[in-house]
Amino acid sequence: MTAIAFLFCVFTGRFLYVQLFWREKLLSLALDQWTREIPVSPERGKIFDRNGELLAGNETAYSVYARANAVTDIEHTADTLSALLNIPREEMKAKLSDRSRSEITLLKQGEKALVRSIEGSGLTGVYYARDNKRVYPYGALASQVLGFTAMGSEGTTGLERYYDNFLKGEKGEILYETDLVGTEIGGTSASYLPAENGLNLKLTLDYRIQAFAEEVMGRTLAQTSAKAARCVVLDPQDFSVLAMVNLPAYDLNDPPRNDREALDRLTRNCLVSDIYEPGSTFKIITAATDLEEWRKGNGAAFSPQYVFPSSRTRSVDGTTIKCWSDHKNGKHANQTLAEALNNSCNPCFVDIALSLGRETFYDYLTAFGFGKATGVDFSGEAVGMLIPEGSVRDCDLARIGFGQTIALTPLQLACAAASAVNGGYYYTPHLLDEICSDDGYVAVKTGKKLIARTVSEETSRLLSSMLEGVVRDGSGKHAYIEGYRVAGKTGTAQKYENGAIAQGKYVSSFLGYFPADAPKYLALIIVDEPQGSYYGSTVAAPCAKEIFEGIIGFMKIPAQGGTV
């Protein structure tokens, strides 16, 4: 009796265990055995610019499936589908004969007329479901930023990938009752589990600025026969990205999927993922560092009234550092910091870096975000290259002062300069404004996020007055706009290949903003390897002027009465 009681308890315990702990799994297995499902694709979330302009949407398409167990006439079905889908008959027959899979995908994102033809053929075991096809109304616009999706609608590159979890939604199903071998049971009704559509993205990009900047940079790319042309436009008040231009580009509706080299090259957002030596545009940071230290009373810093001694060269650690030009007509005469910015005189910035010293200068490089990611909401961001403070030599420090021996991303430089002129506030740059549903529910809202203070508001005002002079009187005069207070700095950097200067290869750039007294629009222009004229003053500065004039027109910004 004891043994019988023991066995009864064991079986009862086992029964209860199965009922309580295996219930959901067993129900799932039973459902899978006695039903077959057709997936229902959700509508992928749409992408809009800051003003509600559609940048990425969807068109209705259809997918076609087959169940080998439910196909009653393989020969006829293979003949019919082979002709309609342009698939070799033997390949189609092999698919339909494969009973190891409960469901076979025959077509993704097909046209409605084609699906109607299949439906009208009266084939058993063949089904279709509504799908979605991703479409980009403006083709190549912001192609490296938006990115594209795979045929299965998963985000592959760009923001489509970064925010895929929000955009993709949840799949639904149509469930059919089947017998043990998977054949649909006649007279039964299907169950429908609706899909849950993805959420929409509202970006900080402004379609008008993006499109116009692409037009301007595209024209420059063609006229200069350059390798590439790039531009980033920021709002310095919150670091929202208004435009990101990478040229050459590609059509988002027809990415070069079959050419891996072209796909990797054309889909890369170089403003975020690539680094370069900035050259003289970096002098904005060196000047800001000097002015802030002077304001703090550091005796190693140079005052705005200080006159740098006349010289075209500086000798550091036995290395001779030359200026970019002979500076005829007395431009290498004694000059103040403002004049050194106007003339883009390298020796003056060598003096600043060496006088401030390694520790102080590196404190500011860190505060300005160099050597680390900005935190922008985009995959693959580079951190740049900054010589470790303990390893930097005087000759390295001297070159960093005028934008050599340091490599950074264009976005890093744009953010650093924005903080130098906006009162010293360094925010996290961002491309997303909000994530919302079609009915207006806001799931995520991105606000400005302060990361660091770089300089004081007093230093920003003083620096801006000097940079305004660069556009009014100095090397940036091709960016001057009558009636508007534009400020900025030009740059012309030699390129290096295999550790040596690449003869005849330059990066021309201009970093500018307006209004100078309350920056609202900041643009960094980069033209890589222009042919013919290669100076930032003649190649890049005119692009900034054109883009700023476009913004003035879009936003109907009234004139301020000129520079002061």
Percentage with pLDDT > 70 across the chain: 87
Per-residue pLDDT of 339-395, as tens digits, reads 999 999 999 999 999 999 999 999 999 999 999 999 999 999 999 999 999 999 999
The pair of structure tokens assigned to 80 is 């019919």
Q: 505-524 burial by CB neighbour count: b if 16+ within 10 A, else e?
A: bbbbbbbbbbbbeebbbbbb
CB of 290 closer than 8 Å to CB of 302:
yes
CA distances from 76 to 120, 123, 124, 128, 471 (A): 14, 8, 10, 18, 76
Q: Parallel, antiparallel, or unpaired: how do β-strands 200-203 and 191-193 relate?
A: unpaired
Strand order in the sheet with 228-235: 240-247, 228-235, 521-528, 500-514, 487-497
> Can you give the pLDDT at residue 297?
97
pLDDT band per the 50, 70, 90 thresholds, residue 118 = confident
- What number is the average pLDDT over the span 465-485? 97
The pair of structure tokens assigned to 150 is 């795979």
Per-residue pLDDT of 408-451, as tens digits, reads 999 999 999 999 999 999 999 999 999 999 999 999 999 899 99
> Can you give the pLDDT at residue 4?
67
DSSP single-letter state for residue 142: T
> Can you give the pLDDT at residue 5?
60
More confident: 471 or 108: 471
Residue that is written with structure tokens 């330059």 in the block:
506
- Sorted by where each starts, the structural domains of the chain and their CATH numbers stand as 34-140+171-203 (3.90.1310.10), 207-555 (3.40.710.10)
CA angle 217, 219, 221 (to 5 degrees): 65
Q: Is 280 a catalytic residue?
A: yes
CB of 239 closer than 8 Å to CB of 415:
yes
> Can you give the pLDDT at residue 25?
53
Q: 400-426 burial by CB neighbour count: b if 16+ within 10 A, else e?
A: bbbbbbbbbbbbbbbbbbbbbbbbbbb
- What number is the average pLDDT over the span 209-224? 98
Q: Which of 243, 257, 191 is nearest to 212 (CA)?
A: 243
The DSSP-derived string for 85-134 is HT--HHHHHHHHT-TTSS-EEEEEEE-HHHHHHHHTTT-TTEEEEEEEEE
> Can you give the pLDDT at residue 326?
56
**CA dist., res. 176 & res. 34, Å (int):** 8
pLDDT band per the 50, 70, 90 thresholds, residue 564 = very low
**CA dist., res. 203 & res. 235, Å (int):** 13
CB of 229 closer than 8 Å to CB of 220:
yes
> Can you give the pLDDT at residue 288?
98
CB of 282 closer than 8 Å to CB of 402:
yes
Q: Which phi-psi region, left, alpha or beta, contains residue 241 (left: φ > 0; alpha: ψ -120 to 50)?
A: beta
Angle between helix axes 283-295 and 346-356 (nearest 10 degrees) is 50
- What number is the average pLDDT over the span 508-527? 98
pLDDT band per the 50, 70, 90 thresholds, residue 147 = very high
> Can you give the pLDDT at residue 31?
43
Contacts (Cβ under 8 Å, ≥6 apart) of 312 = 322, 323, 326, 327, 332, 347
pTM of this structure:
0.86
Per-residue pLDDT of 77-104, as tens digits, reads 878 888 888 888 888 888 878 777 767 8
**CA dist., res. 188 & res. 224, Å (int):** 69
> Can you give the pLDDT at residue 500?
75
The pair of structure tokens assigned to 36 is 């077959």
Other CB atoms within 10 Å distance of the CB of residue 373? 14
The enclosing H or E element of 77 equals: helix 74-85
**CA dist., res. 128 & res. 118, Å (int):** 9
Pick the catalytic residue from 240, 280, 344, 537: 280
**CA dist., res. 193 & res. 191, Å (int):** 7
**CA dist., res. 47 & res. 417, Å (int):** 29
pLDDT band per the 50, 70, 90 thresholds, residue 130 = confident
> Can you give the pLDDT at residue 1?
63
**CA dist., res. 506 & res. 494, Å (int):** 5
- What number is the average pLDDT over the span 283-296? 98
**CA dist., res. 291 & res. 305, Å (int):** 11
Q: Is the dihedral of CA 543, 545, 549, 552 positive or negative?
A: positive
Strand partners, 511: 489, 524
Average pLDDT of the chain is 88
More confident: 326 or 524: 524
